[in-house]
Structure 1
Amino acid sequence: MKPLPEIRLMSTRPALDARPLDKRVGLIILATDHTSEPDFRRMVASERIGIYVARIPYANPTTPENLRKMQPALTDGAALILPDEPLDAVCYSCTSASVVIGDAEIETAIHGAKPGVPVVTPPMAGVRGLRALGARRISILTPYTVETSRPMAAYFTERGFEIASFTCLGFEDDREMARIAPTSLVELAREATDGKAEALFVSCTALRAALAVSGMEEAIGRPVVTSNQATAWNCLRLCGDETPRLEFGRLMTLPLPRD
Protein backbone atom coordinates (compact mmCIF):
# COMPACT_ATOMS: atom_id res chain seq x y z
CA MET A 1 0.00 0.00 0.00
CA LYS A 2 1.42 3.37 -1.00
CA PRO A 3 1.83 5.94 1.78
CA LEU A 4 -0.83 8.64 1.89
CA PRO A 5 0.23 12.14 0.87
CA GLU A 6 0.69 14.79 3.48
CA ILE A 7 -2.48 16.89 3.90
CA ARG A 8 -1.77 20.56 4.32
CA LEU A 9 -4.15 22.82 6.24
CA MET A 10 -4.31 26.31 4.79
CA SER A 11 -3.29 28.96 7.26
CA THR A 12 -5.97 31.37 6.02
CA ARG A 13 -9.68 30.92 5.21
CA PRO A 14 -11.42 32.53 2.24
CA ALA A 15 -13.84 35.37 2.92
CA LEU A 16 -17.49 34.30 3.05
CA ASP A 17 -20.43 35.87 1.25
CA ALA A 18 -23.38 36.81 3.43
CA ARG A 19 -25.51 34.22 1.56
CA PRO A 20 -24.92 31.77 -1.31
CA LEU A 21 -27.89 33.46 -3.04
CA ASP A 22 -29.25 36.92 -2.27
CA LYS A 23 -32.87 35.84 -1.60
CA ARG A 24 -34.46 32.67 -0.21
CA VAL A 25 -37.98 31.38 -0.83
CA GLY A 26 -39.20 28.40 1.16
CA LEU A 27 -41.75 26.18 -0.57
CA ILE A 28 -43.87 23.71 1.42
CA ILE A 29 -45.55 21.21 -0.88
CA LEU A 30 -47.57 18.03 -0.66
CA ALA A 31 -45.81 14.66 -0.80
CA THR A 32 -47.85 13.92 -3.94
CA ASP A 33 -47.16 17.24 -5.72
CA HIS A 34 -45.79 16.98 -9.28
CA THR A 35 -46.17 20.64 -10.30
CA SER A 36 -45.28 23.30 -7.72
CA GLU A 37 -41.55 22.63 -7.62
CA PRO A 38 -41.00 22.73 -11.41
CA ASP A 39 -43.25 25.80 -11.66
CA PHE A 40 -41.27 27.69 -9.01
CA ARG A 41 -37.96 26.72 -10.59
CA ARG A 42 -39.35 27.97 -13.91
CA MET A 43 -40.90 31.22 -12.67
CA VAL A 44 -39.03 32.22 -9.49
CA ALA A 45 -35.56 30.64 -9.26
CA SER A 46 -32.63 32.63 -10.63
CA GLU A 47 -28.99 33.47 -9.94
CA ARG A 48 -30.35 35.79 -7.26
CA ILE A 49 -33.31 33.85 -5.80
CA GLY A 50 -33.07 30.32 -4.42
CA ILE A 51 -36.01 27.92 -3.94
CA TYR A 52 -35.82 25.58 -0.95
CA VAL A 53 -38.44 22.84 -0.80
CA ALA A 54 -39.95 20.70 1.97
CA ARG A 55 -42.61 18.04 1.39
CA ILE A 56 -45.23 17.16 3.99
CA PRO A 57 -47.46 14.08 4.26
CA TYR A 58 -50.68 14.01 2.28
CA ALA A 59 -53.06 11.22 1.28
CA ASN A 60 -55.75 11.36 -1.39
CA PRO A 61 -58.68 11.72 -1.97
CA THR A 62 -58.81 15.50 -2.01
CA THR A 63 -61.56 16.14 0.51
CA PRO A 64 -61.88 18.95 3.08
CA GLU A 65 -61.18 16.40 5.84
CA ASN A 66 -57.95 15.14 4.28
CA LEU A 67 -56.80 18.64 3.42
CA ARG A 68 -57.28 19.80 6.99
CA LYS A 69 -55.07 16.95 8.25
CA MET A 70 -51.98 18.70 6.87
CA GLN A 71 -52.14 21.56 9.35
CA PRO A 72 -50.11 19.87 12.13
CA ALA A 73 -47.25 19.13 9.68
CA LEU A 74 -46.78 22.75 8.58
CA THR A 75 -44.50 23.79 11.44
CA ASP A 76 -42.26 20.75 11.03
CA GLY A 77 -42.18 21.29 7.27
CA ALA A 78 -41.10 24.90 7.65
CA ALA A 79 -38.46 23.88 10.21
CA LEU A 80 -36.81 21.60 7.63
CA ILE A 81 -36.09 24.50 5.27
CA LEU A 82 -32.61 25.91 6.04
CA PRO A 83 -32.88 25.41 9.83
CA ASP A 84 -31.92 28.45 11.91
CA GLU A 85 -31.52 30.62 8.79
CA PRO A 86 -33.91 33.41 7.77
CA LEU A 87 -36.10 33.23 4.66
CA ASP A 88 -37.53 36.06 2.58
CA ALA A 89 -40.86 34.28 2.00
CA VAL A 90 -42.52 30.93 2.63
CA CYS A 91 -45.24 29.61 0.35
CA TYR A 92 -47.55 26.77 1.39
CA SER A 93 -48.45 25.42 -2.03
CA CYS A 94 -51.96 24.01 -1.68
CA THR A 95 -54.94 26.14 -2.65
CA SER A 96 -57.78 23.99 -1.37
CA ALA A 97 -56.06 23.21 1.94
CA SER A 98 -55.29 26.89 2.49
CA VAL A 99 -58.98 27.68 2.10
CA VAL A 100 -60.03 24.89 4.47
CA ILE A 101 -57.36 25.50 7.12
CA GLY A 102 -57.34 29.30 6.83
CA ASP A 103 -54.59 31.76 5.92
CA ALA A 104 -54.16 33.00 9.50
CA GLU A 105 -53.80 29.47 10.88
CA ILE A 106 -51.23 28.60 8.21
CA GLU A 107 -49.25 31.73 9.00
CA THR A 108 -49.27 30.89 12.71
CA ALA A 109 -48.08 27.34 12.04
CA ILE A 110 -45.22 28.45 9.78
CA HIS A 111 -44.21 31.20 12.19
CA GLY A 112 -43.78 28.48 14.79
CA ALA A 113 -40.60 27.54 12.92
CA LYS A 114 -39.85 30.73 10.97
CA PRO A 115 -40.97 33.72 13.06
CA GLY A 116 -41.79 36.87 11.16
CA VAL A 117 -41.30 35.50 7.64
CA PRO A 118 -43.88 36.68 5.06
CA VAL A 119 -46.23 33.74 4.41
CA VAL A 120 -47.94 33.27 1.04
CA THR A 121 -50.81 30.93 0.23
CA PRO A 122 -52.33 30.39 -3.23
CA PRO A 123 -55.79 31.79 -2.46
CA MET A 124 -54.25 34.79 -0.68
CA ALA A 125 -51.98 35.42 -3.69
CA GLY A 126 -54.95 34.88 -6.00
CA VAL A 127 -56.92 37.60 -4.20
CA ARG A 128 -53.97 39.98 -4.42
CA GLY A 129 -53.53 39.19 -8.09
CA LEU A 130 -57.17 39.75 -8.96
CA ARG A 131 -57.15 43.04 -7.07
CA ALA A 132 -53.97 44.12 -8.85
CA LEU A 133 -55.78 43.46 -12.13
CA GLY A 134 -58.81 45.45 -10.95
CA ALA A 135 -61.15 42.46 -11.24
CA ARG A 136 -64.18 42.13 -8.96
CA ARG A 137 -66.56 39.96 -10.99
CA ILE A 138 -64.81 36.67 -11.67
CA SER A 139 -65.23 33.16 -12.97
CA ILE A 140 -63.55 30.29 -11.12
CA LEU A 141 -62.36 26.95 -12.50
CA THR A 142 -61.21 24.13 -10.21
CA PRO A 143 -60.35 20.47 -10.78
CA TYR A 144 -62.02 19.47 -7.49
CA THR A 145 -65.32 17.89 -6.56
CA VAL A 146 -68.32 20.05 -5.72
CA GLU A 147 -67.74 19.35 -2.00
CA THR A 148 -64.15 20.58 -2.11
CA SER A 149 -65.06 23.55 -4.31
CA ARG A 150 -67.67 24.99 -1.94
CA PRO A 151 -65.13 26.42 0.56
CA MET A 152 -63.33 28.06 -2.38
CA ALA A 153 -66.52 29.85 -3.43
CA ALA A 154 -67.04 31.05 0.14
CA TYR A 155 -63.43 32.28 0.40
CA PHE A 156 -63.66 34.59 -2.60
CA THR A 157 -67.19 35.75 -1.81
CA GLU A 158 -66.13 36.71 1.72
CA ARG A 159 -63.35 38.85 0.24
CA GLY A 160 -65.72 40.94 -1.83
CA PHE A 161 -65.68 39.16 -5.20
CA GLU A 162 -68.80 38.53 -7.25
CA ILE A 163 -68.63 35.04 -8.73
CA ALA A 164 -70.20 35.13 -12.17
CA SER A 165 -69.66 31.40 -12.68
CA PHE A 166 -67.97 28.51 -10.87
CA THR A 167 -66.98 25.33 -12.70
CA CYS A 168 -65.36 22.20 -11.25
CA LEU A 169 -64.08 19.03 -12.94
CA GLY A 170 -64.83 16.43 -10.24
CA PHE A 171 -61.31 15.04 -9.69
CA GLU A 172 -60.40 13.54 -6.29
CA ASP A 173 -56.70 12.71 -6.81
CA ASP A 174 -54.16 15.52 -7.15
CA ARG A 175 -51.83 13.24 -9.11
CA GLU A 176 -54.50 12.94 -11.81
CA MET A 177 -55.06 16.70 -11.73
CA ALA A 178 -51.38 17.11 -12.63
CA ARG A 179 -51.91 14.97 -15.73
CA ILE A 180 -54.42 17.36 -17.33
CA ALA A 181 -52.64 18.78 -20.39
CA PRO A 182 -52.09 22.56 -20.52
CA THR A 183 -53.77 22.60 -23.95
CA SER A 184 -56.89 21.09 -22.38
CA LEU A 185 -56.90 23.85 -19.78
CA VAL A 186 -57.12 26.44 -22.54
CA GLU A 187 -60.34 24.91 -23.83
CA LEU A 188 -61.67 24.43 -20.30
CA ALA A 189 -61.00 28.11 -19.57
CA ARG A 190 -62.99 29.09 -22.63
CA GLU A 191 -65.95 27.01 -21.46
CA ALA A 192 -65.72 28.09 -17.81
CA THR A 193 -65.49 31.88 -18.27
CA ASP A 194 -68.73 33.79 -18.02
CA GLY A 195 -69.18 36.60 -20.51
CA LYS A 196 -69.64 39.12 -17.67
CA ALA A 197 -66.53 38.04 -15.75
CA GLU A 198 -63.60 40.46 -15.62
CA ALA A 199 -61.05 37.70 -14.98
CA LEU A 200 -60.73 33.94 -14.51
CA PHE A 201 -59.19 32.31 -11.43
CA VAL A 202 -57.89 28.78 -12.06
CA SER A 203 -57.40 27.04 -8.73
CA CYS A 204 -55.05 24.20 -7.75
CA THR A 205 -51.28 23.98 -7.48
CA ALA A 206 -51.37 20.51 -9.03
CA LEU A 207 -52.60 21.87 -12.37
CA ARG A 208 -49.99 22.79 -14.98
CA ALA A 209 -51.97 25.97 -15.50
CA ALA A 210 -49.00 28.36 -15.37
CA LEU A 211 -47.89 26.89 -18.70
CA ALA A 212 -51.31 27.66 -20.18
CA VAL A 213 -51.87 31.21 -18.88
CA SER A 214 -51.01 33.05 -22.08
CA GLY A 215 -53.14 30.64 -24.13
CA MET A 216 -56.05 30.98 -21.73
CA GLU A 217 -55.84 34.78 -21.76
CA GLU A 218 -55.82 34.80 -25.53
CA ALA A 219 -58.76 32.38 -25.66
CA ILE A 220 -61.02 34.31 -23.27
CA GLY A 221 -59.80 37.86 -23.94
CA ARG A 222 -59.29 38.78 -20.30
CA PRO A 223 -56.77 38.21 -17.48
CA VAL A 224 -56.19 34.78 -15.95
CA VAL A 225 -54.84 34.19 -12.45
CA THR A 226 -53.69 30.68 -11.50
CA SER A 227 -52.54 29.28 -8.19
CA ASN A 228 -48.84 28.77 -8.97
CA GLN A 229 -48.57 31.85 -11.17
CA ALA A 230 -50.04 34.00 -8.37
CA THR A 231 -47.80 32.60 -5.62
CA ALA A 232 -44.73 32.88 -7.86
CA TRP A 233 -45.62 36.52 -8.61
CA ASN A 234 -46.20 37.24 -4.92
CA CYS A 235 -42.89 35.65 -3.89
CA LEU A 236 -40.94 37.41 -6.65
CA ARG A 237 -42.29 40.79 -5.57
CA LEU A 238 -41.46 40.05 -1.90
CA CYS A 239 -37.90 39.37 -3.07
CA GLY A 240 -37.78 42.74 -4.84
CA ASP A 241 -37.95 41.26 -8.34
CA GLU A 242 -40.22 43.47 -10.48
CA THR A 243 -39.20 42.00 -13.85
CA PRO A 244 -42.22 41.70 -16.21
CA ARG A 245 -42.81 38.10 -17.38
CA LEU A 246 -45.68 38.42 -19.85
CA GLU A 247 -45.23 34.82 -20.99
CA PHE A 248 -46.82 33.87 -17.65
CA GLY A 249 -49.75 36.26 -17.98
CA ARG A 250 -50.68 39.88 -17.44
CA LEU A 251 -50.36 39.50 -13.68
CA MET A 252 -46.61 38.95 -14.04
CA THR A 253 -46.22 42.51 -15.32
CA LEU A 254 -47.79 44.18 -12.28
CA PRO A 255 -46.49 45.32 -8.88
CA LEU A 256 -47.75 43.77 -5.66
CA PRO A 257 -50.59 45.90 -4.26
CA ARG A 258 -50.61 47.02 -0.67
CA ASP A 259 -53.06 45.01 1.44
Structure 2
Amino acid sequence: MNLTTHGGAGPGDHPRWGSRARLGLLVIDTDPVAEFEFQAMAPAGVSLNAARFASPRLPGSGEYGDAARTVAESPDIARGLDQLGRMRLDALCVCFVTSGFFGGAAFDQAFMRQASERAGAPVVSASDALVVAARQAGMRRPMLVLPPWFKPEIAQAARSYLAECGIETAATLRLSGGPRWEGVEPWRIWDAGGQWDVRPAEVYREVRRAMPADADGVIIGGSGLRCHEAVAWLEQDLQRPVITSNQASLWRCLRLAGVHADGIGCSRFLSEQARG
Protein backbone atom coordinates (compact mmCIF):
# COMPACT_ATOMS: atom_id res chain seq x y z
CA MET A 1 0.00 0.00 0.00
CA ASN A 2 1.28 3.50 -0.82
CA LEU A 3 1.53 5.19 2.57
CA THR A 4 1.15 8.64 1.03
CA THR A 5 -2.46 7.75 0.20
CA HIS A 6 -3.40 8.45 3.81
CA GLY A 7 -1.60 11.72 4.40
CA GLY A 8 1.94 10.37 4.30
CA ALA A 9 1.81 8.53 7.64
CA GLY A 10 4.74 6.18 8.11
CA PRO A 11 4.84 2.87 9.97
CA GLY A 12 5.55 4.55 13.32
CA ASP A 13 3.05 7.39 13.04
CA HIS A 14 -0.21 7.10 14.97
CA PRO A 15 -0.34 3.27 14.84
CA ARG A 16 -4.09 3.22 15.46
CA TRP A 17 -4.91 5.89 12.92
CA GLY A 18 -4.90 3.90 9.73
CA SER A 19 -1.23 3.90 8.81
CA ARG A 20 -1.66 0.33 7.52
CA ALA A 21 -5.30 0.36 6.44
CA ARG A 22 -8.56 2.22 6.91
CA LEU A 23 -11.73 0.18 7.02
CA GLY A 24 -15.37 1.23 6.95
CA LEU A 25 -18.32 -0.47 8.66
CA LEU A 26 -22.02 -0.11 7.92
CA VAL A 27 -23.96 -1.35 10.93
CA ILE A 28 -27.69 -1.52 11.70
CA ASP A 29 -29.00 1.18 13.99
CA THR A 30 -29.15 -0.71 17.30
CA ASP A 31 -26.22 -3.11 16.97
CA PRO A 32 -23.76 -2.45 19.82
CA VAL A 33 -21.44 -5.37 19.06
CA ALA A 34 -19.95 -5.15 15.57
CA GLU A 35 -17.81 -2.06 16.21
CA PHE A 36 -16.70 -3.39 19.60
CA GLU A 37 -15.53 -6.69 18.14
CA PHE A 38 -13.82 -5.11 15.14
CA GLN A 39 -11.96 -2.73 17.44
CA ALA A 40 -10.98 -5.55 19.78
CA MET A 41 -9.63 -7.69 16.95
CA ALA A 42 -8.09 -5.15 14.58
CA PRO A 43 -4.28 -5.23 14.43
CA ALA A 44 -2.21 -2.13 15.14
CA GLY A 45 -2.22 0.40 12.34
CA VAL A 46 -5.79 -0.37 11.21
CA SER A 47 -8.48 2.25 11.80
CA LEU A 48 -12.24 1.78 11.72
CA ASN A 49 -14.89 4.25 10.56
CA ALA A 50 -18.58 3.43 11.01
CA ALA A 51 -21.93 4.53 9.60
CA ARG A 52 -25.35 3.23 10.62
CA PHE A 53 -28.49 2.28 8.71
CA ALA A 54 -32.05 1.49 9.71
CA SER A 55 -32.94 -2.17 10.09
CA PRO A 56 -35.49 -3.44 7.55
CA ARG A 57 -37.42 -4.89 10.50
CA LEU A 58 -39.51 -2.44 12.48
CA PRO A 59 -39.30 -2.70 16.29
CA GLY A 60 -42.03 -4.96 17.66
CA SER A 61 -42.44 -6.81 14.37
CA GLY A 62 -40.97 -10.15 13.38
CA GLU A 63 -41.28 -9.43 9.67
CA TYR A 64 -38.29 -8.42 7.56
CA GLY A 65 -40.14 -8.21 4.25
CA ASP A 66 -37.67 -8.29 1.37
CA ALA A 67 -34.73 -7.62 3.66
CA ALA A 68 -32.08 -7.97 0.98
CA ARG A 69 -33.65 -5.49 -1.41
CA THR A 70 -34.59 -3.11 1.42
CA VAL A 71 -30.98 -2.98 2.59
CA ALA A 72 -29.59 -2.76 -0.94
CA GLU A 73 -31.91 0.16 -1.75
CA SER A 74 -31.64 1.81 1.67
CA PRO A 75 -30.98 5.57 1.55
CA ASP A 76 -28.91 5.11 4.71
CA ILE A 77 -26.70 2.57 2.94
CA ALA A 78 -26.34 4.86 -0.07
CA ARG A 79 -25.45 7.79 2.17
CA GLY A 80 -22.98 5.67 4.14
CA LEU A 81 -21.28 4.42 0.98
CA ASP A 82 -21.02 7.96 -0.34
CA GLN A 83 -19.65 9.40 2.89
CA LEU A 84 -17.26 6.58 3.70
CA GLY A 85 -16.24 6.46 0.06
CA ARG A 86 -14.91 10.01 0.31
CA MET A 87 -12.65 8.97 3.20
CA ARG A 88 -10.16 7.02 1.03
CA LEU A 89 -10.90 3.73 2.74
CA ASP A 90 -9.28 0.47 1.69
CA ALA A 91 -12.33 -1.75 2.22
CA LEU A 92 -15.83 -1.60 3.72
CA CYS A 93 -18.13 -4.18 5.30
CA VAL A 94 -21.92 -4.29 5.58
CA CYS A 95 -22.37 -5.96 8.96
CA PHE A 96 -25.81 -7.55 8.54
CA VAL A 97 -25.81 -11.26 7.63
CA THR A 98 -29.62 -11.46 7.56
CA SER A 99 -29.96 -9.49 4.33
CA GLY A 100 -27.41 -11.71 2.60
CA PHE A 101 -29.05 -14.89 3.85
CA PHE A 102 -32.49 -13.79 2.65
CA GLY A 103 -31.24 -12.43 -0.67
CA GLY A 104 -29.19 -15.46 -1.65
CA ALA A 105 -25.68 -15.78 -3.00
CA ALA A 106 -26.30 -14.25 -6.45
CA PHE A 107 -28.07 -11.22 -4.99
CA ASP A 108 -25.29 -10.83 -2.44
CA GLN A 109 -22.61 -10.81 -5.14
CA ALA A 110 -24.52 -8.25 -7.21
CA PHE A 111 -25.00 -6.03 -4.15
CA MET A 112 -21.28 -6.10 -3.34
CA ARG A 113 -20.36 -5.18 -6.91
CA GLN A 114 -22.75 -2.24 -7.01
CA ALA A 115 -21.81 -1.05 -3.53
CA SER A 116 -18.10 -1.25 -4.38
CA GLU A 117 -18.64 0.89 -7.47
CA ARG A 118 -20.49 3.49 -5.43
CA ALA A 119 -17.94 3.59 -2.61
CA GLY A 120 -14.89 3.43 -4.85
CA ALA A 121 -13.46 0.68 -2.63
CA PRO A 122 -14.14 -3.05 -2.13
CA VAL A 123 -17.35 -3.68 -0.18
CA VAL A 124 -17.75 -6.97 1.69
CA SER A 125 -20.98 -8.46 2.99
CA ALA A 126 -20.81 -10.33 6.29
CA SER A 127 -22.59 -13.32 4.75
CA ASP A 128 -20.13 -13.64 1.87
CA ALA A 129 -17.18 -13.19 4.25
CA LEU A 130 -18.40 -16.19 6.26
CA VAL A 131 -18.44 -18.33 3.15
CA VAL A 132 -15.01 -17.20 1.93
CA ALA A 133 -13.47 -17.86 5.35
CA ALA A 134 -15.21 -21.23 5.71
CA ARG A 135 -13.95 -22.33 2.31
CA GLN A 136 -10.42 -21.28 3.21
CA ALA A 137 -10.74 -23.37 6.37
CA GLY A 138 -11.78 -26.37 4.30
CA MET A 139 -15.25 -26.59 5.87
CA ARG A 140 -17.76 -28.71 4.00
CA ARG A 141 -20.12 -29.75 6.80
CA PRO A 142 -19.98 -27.30 9.73
CA MET A 143 -22.39 -26.74 12.58
CA LEU A 144 -24.27 -23.47 12.13
CA VAL A 145 -24.70 -21.39 15.29
CA LEU A 146 -27.15 -18.45 15.36
CA PRO A 147 -28.14 -15.81 17.94
CA PRO A 148 -31.19 -16.11 20.21
CA TRP A 149 -32.96 -13.35 18.24
CA PHE A 150 -32.88 -15.21 14.88
CA LYS A 151 -36.27 -16.73 14.09
CA PRO A 152 -36.60 -20.10 12.26
CA GLU A 153 -37.05 -18.42 8.89
CA ILE A 154 -33.62 -16.79 9.20
CA ALA A 155 -32.06 -20.12 10.13
CA GLN A 156 -33.60 -21.71 7.04
CA ALA A 157 -32.39 -18.84 4.86
CA ALA A 158 -28.90 -19.22 6.32
CA ARG A 159 -28.82 -22.94 5.55
CA SER A 160 -30.06 -22.30 2.01
CA TYR A 161 -27.44 -19.57 1.47
CA LEU A 162 -24.62 -21.86 2.64
CA ALA A 163 -25.96 -24.72 0.51
CA GLU A 164 -25.91 -22.45 -2.55
CA CYS A 165 -22.24 -21.92 -1.81
CA GLY A 166 -21.49 -25.63 -1.48
CA ILE A 167 -21.53 -25.82 2.32
CA GLU A 168 -23.87 -28.35 3.96
CA THR A 169 -24.77 -27.74 7.60
CA ALA A 170 -24.33 -30.71 9.94
CA ALA A 171 -26.63 -29.16 12.55
CA THR A 172 -28.10 -25.81 13.55
CA LEU A 173 -27.91 -24.38 17.06
CA ARG A 174 -29.89 -21.33 18.10
CA LEU A 175 -28.29 -20.04 21.28
CA SER A 176 -30.60 -19.78 24.27
CA GLY A 177 -29.65 -16.36 25.59
CA GLY A 178 -30.29 -17.53 29.15
CA PRO A 179 -33.35 -18.14 31.37
CA ARG A 180 -34.54 -14.54 31.06
CA TRP A 181 -35.50 -15.10 27.44
CA GLU A 182 -37.23 -18.49 27.63
CA GLY A 183 -40.49 -18.40 25.70
CA VAL A 184 -39.86 -14.90 24.31
CA GLU A 185 -40.33 -14.44 20.56
CA PRO A 186 -36.89 -14.16 18.93
CA TRP A 187 -37.18 -10.63 17.55
CA ARG A 188 -38.44 -9.34 20.90
CA ILE A 189 -35.19 -10.52 22.48
CA TRP A 190 -33.27 -8.07 20.30
CA ASP A 191 -35.78 -5.26 20.82
CA ALA A 192 -35.55 -5.70 24.60
CA GLY A 193 -31.75 -5.54 24.61
CA GLY A 194 -31.01 -9.26 24.77
CA GLN A 195 -27.81 -8.70 22.77
CA TRP A 196 -26.30 -7.09 25.88
CA ASP A 197 -26.88 -10.29 27.88
CA VAL A 198 -24.78 -12.58 25.67
CA ARG A 199 -21.70 -13.91 27.46
CA PRO A 200 -18.89 -15.62 25.51
CA ALA A 201 -18.55 -18.25 28.25
CA GLU A 202 -22.16 -19.31 27.67
CA VAL A 203 -21.63 -19.35 23.90
CA TYR A 204 -18.65 -21.63 24.47
CA ARG A 205 -20.60 -24.03 26.69
CA GLU A 206 -23.65 -24.25 24.42
CA VAL A 207 -21.61 -24.78 21.25
CA ARG A 208 -19.39 -27.40 22.86
CA ARG A 209 -22.39 -29.36 24.20
CA ALA A 210 -24.18 -29.33 20.84
CA MET A 211 -21.20 -30.03 18.54
CA PRO A 212 -21.90 -33.08 16.33
CA ALA A 213 -19.09 -35.57 15.95
CA ASP A 214 -19.27 -35.41 12.14
CA ALA A 215 -19.13 -31.60 11.85
CA ASP A 216 -15.83 -30.31 10.45
CA GLY A 217 -16.05 -26.83 11.97
CA VAL A 218 -18.33 -24.15 13.38
CA ILE A 219 -19.87 -21.13 11.65
CA ILE A 220 -21.30 -18.54 14.04
CA GLY A 221 -23.56 -16.11 12.20
CA GLY A 222 -24.73 -12.72 13.43
CA SER A 223 -22.78 -9.46 13.47
CA GLY A 224 -24.57 -8.42 16.66
CA LEU A 225 -23.58 -11.56 18.60
CA ARG A 226 -20.70 -11.08 21.03
CA CYS A 227 -18.66 -14.27 20.79
CA HIS A 228 -15.12 -13.66 19.56
CA GLU A 229 -13.63 -14.32 23.00
CA ALA A 230 -15.00 -17.89 22.91
CA VAL A 231 -13.32 -18.83 19.65
CA ALA A 232 -9.88 -19.80 20.99
CA TRP A 233 -11.43 -22.03 23.68
CA LEU A 234 -13.66 -23.76 21.14
CA GLU A 235 -10.91 -24.29 18.59
CA GLN A 236 -8.62 -25.72 21.25
CA ASP A 237 -11.20 -28.09 22.72
CA LEU A 238 -12.98 -29.10 19.51
CA GLN A 239 -9.82 -29.20 17.38
CA ARG A 240 -11.78 -27.74 14.49
CA PRO A 241 -11.92 -24.23 13.02
CA VAL A 242 -14.48 -21.75 14.32
CA ILE A 243 -15.52 -18.82 12.13
CA THR A 244 -17.66 -15.89 13.33
CA SER A 245 -19.33 -13.15 11.28
CA ASN A 246 -17.19 -10.33 12.63
CA GLN A 247 -13.91 -12.24 12.51
CA ALA A 248 -14.54 -13.36 8.93
CA SER A 249 -15.58 -9.84 7.90
CA LEU A 250 -12.48 -8.24 9.42
CA TRP A 251 -10.22 -10.92 7.95
CA ARG A 252 -11.76 -10.44 4.49
CA CYS A 253 -11.42 -6.65 4.64
CA LEU A 254 -7.79 -6.90 5.73
CA ARG A 255 -6.96 -9.26 2.91
CA LEU A 256 -8.55 -6.89 0.41
CA ALA A 257 -6.55 -4.05 1.95
CA GLY A 258 -3.33 -6.03 1.59
CA VAL A 259 -2.76 -6.37 5.34
CA HIS A 260 -1.27 -9.67 6.54
CA ALA A 261 -1.49 -9.49 10.32
CA ASP A 262 -0.08 -11.84 12.93
CA GLY A 263 -3.54 -12.55 14.32
CA ILE A 264 -7.21 -11.77 13.99
CA GLY A 265 -8.91 -11.88 17.36
CA CYS A 266 -8.55 -15.28 19.01
CA SER A 267 -8.96 -17.57 16.01
CA ARG A 268 -5.99 -19.80 15.27
CA PHE A 269 -7.36 -20.39 11.77
CA LEU A 270 -7.73 -16.71 10.94
CA SER A 271 -4.32 -15.98 12.43
CA GLU A 272 -2.75 -18.53 10.10
CA GLN A 273 -4.73 -17.27 7.13
CA ALA A 274 -3.86 -13.64 7.87
CA ARG A 275 -0.16 -14.47 7.69
CA GLY A 276 -0.55 -16.38 4.42
Give the structure 2 partner of residue 254 of structure 1.
Answer: 272
Give structure 2 stretches of 5+ with no counterpart. 1-5, 10-16, 176-184
Residue 176 (structure 1) aligned to one of 194, 197, 218? 194
User: Which digits, 9 at most, give the CA deviation of each residue in 1:169-214, with x for residues without a partner?
Assistant: 4732444234211111001211332110110101101111112111
- CA gap 1:41/1:246 in 2 versus in 1, 3 angstroms: closer
Of residues 92-101 and 31-40 in structure 1, the stretch that sits farther from structure 2 once superposed is 92-101
Q: How does 1:34-45 map to 2 (within 5 A)?
A: 34-44=32-42
Question: Is 1:77 matched up with 2:75?
Answer: no
Q: How does 1:1-12 map to 2 (within 5 A)?
A: none
- CA gap 1:135/1:106 in 2 versus in 1, 3 angstroms: same
Question: Is 1:107 matched up with 2:112?
Answer: yes
Residues paired across the two proteins, number: 240
The TM-score with structure 2 as length reference comes to 0.78
Give the structure 1 partner of residue 138 of structure 2.
Answer: 134
Distance 2:255 2:40 in 1: 16
Q: Does the 8 A contact of 1:177 with 1:206 survive in 2?
A: yes
Q: Which amino acid aligns with 2:50?
A: V
Deviation at 1:127?
1.1
- CA gap 1:233/1:111 in 2 versus in 1, 3 angstroms: closer
Give the structure 2 partner of residue 95 of structure 1.
Answer: 97
Give the structure 1 partner of residue 49 of structure 2.
Answer: 52
Q: Does the 8 A contact of 2:43 with 2:264 survive in 1?
A: no
User: SS of the residue aligned with 1:113?
Assistant: helix
Q: Which amino acid aligns with 1:233?
A: W
Give structure 1 stretches of 5+ with no counterpart. 1-15
Q: Does the 8 A contact of 1:178 with 1:206 survive in 2?
A: no
User: SS of the residue aligned with 1:134?
Assistant: coil
Distance 2:63 2:96 in 1: 13
Q: Which amino acid aligns with 2:225?
A: L
Give the structure 2 partner of residue 3 of structure 1.
Answer: none
Of residues 132-141 and 231-240 in structure 1, the stretch that sits farther from structure 2 once superposed is 231-240
- CA gap 1:35/1:105 in 2 versus in 1, 3 angstroms: same
Deviation at 1:84?
2.8
Deviation at 1:235?
1.5
User: SS of the residue aligned with 2:27?
Assistant: strand
Give the structure 1 partner of residue 166 of structure 2.
Answer: 160
The TM-score with structure 1 as length reference comes to 0.82
Deviation at 1:247?
5.2
Structure 1 residue runs of 4 or more that deviate by more than 4 Å after TM superposition: none
Identical-residue share of aligned pairs (%): 24
Distance 1:246 1:28 in 2: 20
Question: Is 1:215 matched up with 2:215?
Answer: no
Distance 1:71 1:178 in 2: 27
Q: Does the 8 A contact of 1:122 with 1:228 survive in 2?
A: yes
Of residues 188-197 and 247-256 in structure 1, the stretch that sits farther from structure 2 once superposed is 247-256
Question: Is 1:226 matched up with 2:234?
Answer: no
Give the structure 2 partner of residue 12 of structure 1.
Answer: none
Deviation at 1:236?
1.9
- CA gap 1:160/1:247 in 2 versus in 1, 3 angstroms: same
Q: Which amino acid aligns with 2:51?
A: A
Instruction: Tell me which protein shows more helix as a share of its residues.
Output: 2
